[in-house]
Amino acid sequence: MEEFAILLGEHFVKTYPQVTGSEITIIEKPWEPYRINGKIHHHGFKLGKGSHFCEIQVSKNKPTVVCSGLEGLSVLKTTQSGFEGFVRDNYTLLPEVRERILATEVLSVWCYKSKPSCYNKAFETVKQILLDVFFGPPDAGVYSPSVQNTLYLMGERVLQRLPEIESIKLSMPNLHFIPVNMPKVGVEFNHDVYLPTDEPHGTIEASLTRKNWSRHSKL
Ligand SMILES: O=c1[nH]c(=O)c2[nH]c(=O)[nH]c2[nH]1
């Protein structure tokens, strides 16, 4: 997909003297073959979640910039999440918690400083890293003291593992599951009933770039 976007971008810049640069965005629709009892359906597909996209900038006199991304990846952990250690002042009402549900929809964009051996493989690796860091090991998981902390660690691990990536941005809304606690009508919260809400929520974001970065060097 990235290779095609670069080709398309170069086409406009090379073909038309009046064009100095072009920007191409492609978003993949993750259609997956449908399975019935483990058998792949002959012609049936369903739309999956977590789309791969790319944003390419081709210019007559500047190096090509290639960024890839992932959007719409919904994830949730039922435990091993809290929110603590944040700044408190006279206006802070929120109590710290060490036990809650953590749910979000990951949006991430990363930019390359050199060409990976395969853009699709790099995408799959980044996706896997983001999920692995978010969830932790299957049995024990990993404790998250905040979305901020987890999101930073997710981005950091991508930069550690993929030297061809120069920078990564992550945006993760904090989609609350509010404990239902109504003692006056005899319903006491016992880590059992939650109210899922989409609003209001904070959107937690981070942008991580390698030291001595070179504004997406030549590809
Ligand atoms: O992980 C969190 N980060 C926040 O910034 C925040 N704000 C909030 O109300 N709950 C949380 N949780």
pLDDT in tens, 52-82: 999 999 999 999 999 999 999 999 999 999 9
Helix axis angle, 147-161 relative to 119-135, nearest 10°? 140
Distance 166 CA to ligand 1 centre (A): 28
Beta carbons of 207 and 67 less than 8 angstroms apart: no
Residue 218, pLDDT > 50, answer no
Reduced to 3 states (helix: H, G, I; strand: E, B; else coil), residue 13 is helix
Question: By percentage, how much of the chain surpasses pLDDT 70?
Answer: 97
- The domain limits of the chain are 2-86+95-209
> Is the ipTM beyond the 0.95 threshold?
yes
Residue of minimum CA distance from atom 11 in ligand 1: 83
User: Which residues have C-beta atoms less than 6 Å from ligand 1?
Assistant: 83, 94, 146-148, 174, 202, 204
Mutate to test the pocket of ligand 1, among 93, 147, 152, 171 (most ligand atoms within 8 A of CB): 147
In this prediction, residues 18-37 reach a mean pLDDT of 97
Q: pLDDT band at 215, cuts 50/70/90?
A: low
Out of 84, 86, 102, mutate this one to test ligand 1's pocket (max ligand atoms within 8 Å of CB): namely 86
The answer to whether the CB of 177 falls within 8 A of the CB of 195 is yes
Instruction: Indicate the Cα dihedral angle 107, 79, 149, 118, nearest 10°.
Output: -40
Closest CA to 130 of 102, 99, 97, 108: 108
Helix, strand, coil shares of the chain, percent, nearest 5, are 20, 40, 40
Cα 21–chain centre separation? 28
- Domain 2-86+95-209 sits in CATH at 3.10.270.10
Determine the pLDDT at residue 213: 63
User: What is the C-alpha to C-alpha distance for residues 117 and 121, in angstroms, rounded to an integer?
Assistant: 8
Secondary element (H or E) of residue 107: strand 102-112
pLDDT digits (tens, 9 = 90+) for 85-129: 999 999 999 999 999 999 999 999 999 999 999 999 999 999 999
Ligand 1 atom having least distance to the Cα of 81: 1
Distance between the two ends of the chain, CA-based, in angstroms?
A: 15
